[in-house]
Amino acid sequence: MKQMHYGTALVTGASSGLGRGLALWLARRGTRVFAAARRQEHLDALAQEARAAGATLEPVKMDVAQADATVERIRQLDADCGGLDLVVANAGVGGATPGKQFPWEFTKQMIDINVTGAVATLGAVLPQMVERGRGHLVGISSLAAFRGLPTRAAYSASKIFLSSFMESLRVDLRGSGVRVTCIYPGWVKSEITAKNTFPMPFLMETEEAVERMGNAILRGEPVYAFPWQMTRFMKLLHALPNPLFDALMSRRR
């Protein structure tokens, strides 16, 4: 499959983890990358690393939880650069939201970032992309979207929402010239997973995960899930009858 090239790209959640890696990966391939996140000092360090590699990466301080401000900022970037070719909604948070001690404040924060923030990011310049007849929207979901996991009600639900949102967009935008990709990573080393105290099967190095994601985006894959071992396992869980799934997950919890 022929790989695409992008003149401009926006990547959110670029101060660490997959977002940081993907922003640098794209910049090193000649894309002018707008790297967006809340932590300015992390973005400045990323821009310096990109410059050392002869790449163009511009820091953009942005909090996607502030949805209206996010839409306004992205529209301004789109106008200033002559049109964004690629928008990657990567910013997200994870963590436990157990039903018996349901933490409302954390749940709201997760929804504001993972759901509302992602939609604001992807939808900000979608009409402009359709008008131009080109563009690529990428949403970073999770294998946790394949089934509601114990103690992860808010996280699984937020990723299920994003997956369904991307699927509907993919159907709606067929023939418009605007591509849609949904990516489902498994366990990847990051600031988020470093806090986990439970086993993480097939935990992947960030660099390998970024390479896989970047190539899937350039190929224009509509859906890409990895690693294959965890993907197969989650698909099996998805196919289980509810009583069997509930019993299995209760023991896992």
Q: Which residue is it, tokens 């990567």?
A: 90
Total-model pTM: 0.93
* Tens-place pLDDT, residues 22-50: 999 999 999 999 999 999 999 999 999 99
Query: Which of 36-45, 94-103, 175-184 comes out lowest in average pLDDT?
Result: 94-103
Percent of the chain with pLDDT over 70: 95
Backbone angles phi, psi at 34, to 5 degrees: -95, 110
Using the 8-state DSSP alphabet, how is residue 188 labeled? B
Question: Contact, 216 vs 224, CB < 8 A?
Answer: yes
Across 65-197, the runs of DSSP E, i.e. the strands, are 86-89, 135-140, 178-185
Task: Please tell me the distance from the alpha carbon of residue 159 to that of residue 174, in angstroms, as a whole number.
Answer: 23
Q: Say what the pLDDT of residue 197 is.
A: 65
CA distances to 21, 27, 88 from 138, in Å: 15, 16, 5
Question: Contact, 137 vs 179, CB < 8 A?
Answer: yes
Amino acid at 72: E
Asked if 155 is an active-site residue, the reply is yes
Q: What tokens appear for 132 in the block?
A: 């131009």
Question: Contact, 240 vs 248, CB < 8 A?
Answer: yes
Whether cis (ω within 30° of 0) applies to the bond prior to 103 is no
Query: In which band, very low, low, confident or very high, does the pLDDT at 3 lie, cut at 50, 70 and 90?
Result: confident
Q: Say what the pLDDT of residue 195 is.
A: 67
Q: What is the mean pLDDT of residues 214-218?
A: 97
Query: In which band, very low, low, confident or very high, does the pLDDT at 196 lie, cut at 50, 70 and 90?
Result: low
Using the 8-state DSSP alphabet, how is residue 193 labeled? G
Q: Say what the pLDDT of residue 1 is.
A: 54
Domains annotated on the chain, with CATH: 8-252 (3.40.50.720)
> Annotated catalytic residue: which of 6, 155, 184, 224?
155
Q: What tokens appear for 225 in the block?
A: 């899930």
Amino acid at 234: M
